[in-house]
Structure 1
Amino acid sequence: MKYKKILTGDKVVVEVNDLKIGGNNKPIFIAGPCSVESREQVIETAIQLKERGCDVLRGGAFKPRTSPYDFQGLGEEGLKYLKEASEITNLPIVTELMDETSLDMILEYADIIQIGSRNMYNYSLLKVVGGVNKPVLLKRGMSATIREWAYAAEYIAAYGNKNIILCERGIRSFDSYTRNTLDISAVPIMKQETGLPVIVDPSHGTGIKSLIKPMSRASIASGADGLMIEVHFKPENALSDGFQSLTPDEYLDVINSIKTLY
């Protein structure tokens, strides 16, 4: 049977509560800590983010870490803290699904299911989230070509779920100055090829705090439908990615700098 492409380039608008992501809608802003570390941390960060114009709260309850000795997340306890923060601020939640066994738990708490960079190639997991009735945020694999990333989105769509938000988060290259190489050109290419909304994660894309603001502006100027930025109310105490996390006030400065671009 000849393969028939599902994501043809026609514009897809993903709805999350009152938010409309993609199409001709204004950019959306996703922010929060890399990891949920405590109730105080996630609730305080969420309240400060809400005051500064954040649209969606991010936070990892299950963390895929390169080293087995690094903080791995709080699991369901972390999801409960995220849910409480969401109820206080009315911000929807995006959190990462690492494996099929956690699906029911994630569905209970999350408004958007994130498939992380390491799992972009996990086709079994892509099929599973293709069968759920919630939006999926699909991060680009750290070594993925644009075509491979597009095919990963097709896996989800082929199993019934076209509510997909793509996230460019940088790819590995020969250069070691930045954590990754942020591929801004992928934004208009993927919007043209798939029609899906594309957001950018400049925190992982660069790994350098001072680059988050200019790369955020460049992303929006390239047509990105939003940004995902790591924010922690006390980055110096963060258990993961504190070096690339903004404070709430630094985050507000980034958001204000972008408003002139749309």
Structure 2
Amino acid sequence: MSTADSNPMGLNGFEFVEFASLERGLLEPVFKMMGFSHIANHRSKDVVLFRQGDINFIINYEPGSYAQYFAEEHGPSACGMAFRVENAPSAYARAIQLGAQPMDIPTGPMELRLPAIKGIGGAPLYLIDRYTAGESIYDIDFDFITSDRNPVGCGFNVIDHLTHNVYRGRMDHWAKFYERIFNFREVRYFDIAGEYTGLRSRAMSAPDGKIRIPLNEEATQGGQIEEFLMAYNGEGIQHIAFSTDNILDTWDQLKARGVPFMNAPPDTYYEMLDER
């Protein structure tokens, strides 16, 4: 277990990822196909909660909210994320003291105020200390619409990692952000050169070992990172990876639901594993 010195925020994994979309019904089928269930609605806002295992996805449709402005600028996308911390007010105060920018997210009547700082691409990074069953933010702010509050779905249990795609020259900036504010450490560095393009990646890990964020930037012009930045209109969360206890069973369930999969890599991919 991390000590207070190594884990000063008391980090304990991801709490949720927030999504935004101007078009209702665009994200829901994707989540359901991947085994997530719509289990709750916000009591005062147009916000819905999807869950699978210990993974919470929130879709924010609230008119006039930052999420809707985010969707106008970036399209349907992940517009925020939350870290579990031991004490949210203390973690927030420490983050501000260390140079993080505060974000004021409007709250409604009888709604919890969730402290947040400015994260990747201007998206809020929430700090949550209420995540135990019966006392979580969902128990306070949401109405559950099903008796099964912890659906197993296709077997995904937690978020393994999520990536940030950043502009060239900005990877070190975000690495220092996570190091300074949350005491992340770089666990691996990649400098991948392809025939036409290349990318650099710093795999960052929090002191709790549960929050992992690879940072990716283009090494040259015209690659997939640059394509994302242009299509997304800025830096942001590029993909989210889940863990499962039985990948073959999960694969079977996803395939049965109609989830498309990429083609298997060529044999040379495996032959070069030792070199990588």
In the superposition, the TM-score normalised over structure 1's length comes to 0.30
The structure where helix makes up a greater share of residues is 1
The structure where strand makes up a greater share of residues is 2
In the superposition, the TM-score normalised over structure 2's length comes to 0.29
